[in-house]
Amino acid sequence: MNRALDLLQPYPFEKLRALLAGAQPPADKKPIALSIGEPKHRSPDFVAQALADNLDQLAVYPTTIGLSALRESIARWCERRFGVPGGWLDPARHVLPVNGTREALFAFTQAVVNREPDALVVSPNPFYQIYEGATLLAGAQPHYLPCLAENGFNPDFDAVPTEVWQRCQILFICSPGNPTGALVPLDTLKQLIALADEHDFVIAADECYSELYFDEDNPPPGLLSACAELGRSDFKRCVVFHSLSKRSNLPGLRSGFVAGDAEILKPFLLYRTYHGCAMPVQTQLASIAAWNDEAHVRANRDLYREKFAAVLEVLQGVLDVQRPDGGFYLWAKTPVADTTFTRELFEREHVTVVPGSYLSREVDGVNPGAGRVRMALVAPLAECVEAAQRIRAYLEKRQG
């Protein structure tokens, strides 16, 4: 067996199950899970119809590069959403369909990392756990940058030693972040591009939460926005990852895309051809329908705005928590250890959250997720409000 498998840590939900093992929640309270970031809003009917209308494509082998119509729709969406000038994104060279960002982030790391003894992959901390697992299985070492409140829950990139950048092969960024919801500012994105040029590494921007934001008049920028402002029409060293899972409430469709530097995507396509991960044709056709429509995405944001406002109103004064810049998580500071908070909340109120320390790694004696919990506001409004009321009741009883 691949010995690198021994380096993988238990997934956060395995740790959570172990933490809650033996706990006896009150039987008269229905369980409410704020733990898993799985969208629960209704999937668009027109996407389901497009899927059903094309079931005859089950008899067709899909190509790894995907339908030109899908790549065209993705390129045009990127232009509209991130201000990329028309003609910059060539659908034949700059876009690849993928089976969701999780699959793509992992595969991309295997394709890009050059197995050298001192190879580093740099990521935020806390982080989406795939970054670490993909790094270790690609033969590199993860290097974690703490995301602390005093820096707006973004890494302090200015504090990163030059030696780390020199060894870096991939820099993962996530904006809005999981679990913090923090946005990476446009000026910071430009700074990171300059660092990538100076030290020759690839920026892999995980933007799967990019369409969950609060101000309709100010969509958050992405790495492609920075390329557009810099006049970087070749997207050199820049690759973005997007998905329909959160944007369109389609986690089961397993559909997303990778876009950016054609000189990186060309060998990545070769890797994927051998990997055997082509997207089914009927899924591609349904995806075209989703990328071409924004009305359902705006309606989706409206639902999240309503939930955040209602939940934060209930928690005001009893829990140190603020509305994030984007995404659907609350990153709350706990008055006791995050693991204690999580188990007690489950035992007393039958509400499940994730300890922040399970989403982070301790570096130099500090775990930046410790003392916080992640709460996913994915359930219906009434259920989220009830969960908030139970959290408030738990805290008030604990304090008094």
Fold for 59-292, please state it: Aspartate Aminotransferase; domain 2 (3.40.640)
Task: Give the number of other Cβ atoms within 10 Å of residue 188's Cβ.
Answer: 18
Is residue 143 within 8 A of residue 120, CB to CB? The reply is yes
Query: 3-42+296-399, what's its fold?
Result: Aspartate Aminotransferase, domain 1 (3.90.1150)
Q: How far, in Å, CA of 238 to CA of 171, rounded?
A: 10
* Whether the domain at 3-42+296-399 and the domain at 59-292 fall into the same CATH topology: no
CA dihedral 300, 303, 307, 308 (to 10 degrees): 50
Structure-block tokens of residue 260: 């950016």
**Token pair in block for residue 77:** 């969406």
Q: Which amino acid is it at 73?
A: S
Give yes or no for residue 400 having a pLDDT over 80: no
Give the pLDDT of residue 332.
Answer: 98
Q: Where are the beta strands (DSSP E) in the chain?
A: 32-33, 95-98, 120-125, 141-146, 168-174, 202-206, 238-243, 256-260, 329-333, 351-352, 354-355, 372-376
To the nearest 10°, report the CA torsion of 174, 180, 186, 192. Answer: -50
Report the predicted TM-score, pTM, of the whole model to 2 decimal places.
0.97
Residue 179 scores a pLDDT above 80: yes
Q: How much is the mean pLDDT over the chain?
A: 97
Q: Is 61 exposed, middle or buried (0-12, 13-18, 19+ CB in 10 A)?
A: exposed
The gap from C-alpha 392 to its chain's centroid, in whole angstroms, comes to 28
Q: How confident is the model at residue 308 (pLDDT cuts 50, 70, 90)?
A: very high
Phi/psi for 89 (5° steps) reads -85, 105
The answer to whether residues 97 and 66 touch, using CB atoms and an 8 Å cutoff, is: yes
Per cent of the chain over pLDDT 70 is 100
Q: What is the DSSP string of 117-162?
A: TT-EEEEEES--THHHHHHHHTT-EEEEEEB-GGGTTSB-GGGS-H
Q: Render pLDDT for 355-380 as a digit per residue (tens, 0 to 9).
A: 999 999 999 999 999 999 999 999 99
- Where do the domains of the chain lie? 3-42+296-399, 59-292
* CB contact at 8 A, 40 and 328: no
> What percentage of residues in the chain have a pLDDT greater than 90?
99
The pLDDT tens digits for 24-76 are 999 999 999 999 999 999 999 999 999 999 999 999 999 999 999 999 999 99
Residue 126 CA to residue 177 CA, distance in Å, equals 9
134: CB partners within 8 A, 6+ apart? 105, 106, 108, 109, 110, 121
Given a contact cutoff of 8 angstroms between Cβ atoms, the answer to whether 192 and 240 are in contact is no
Judged against a pLDDT cut of 90, whether residue 90 lies above it is answered with yes
| C-beta neighbour count of 49 within 10 angstroms | 12
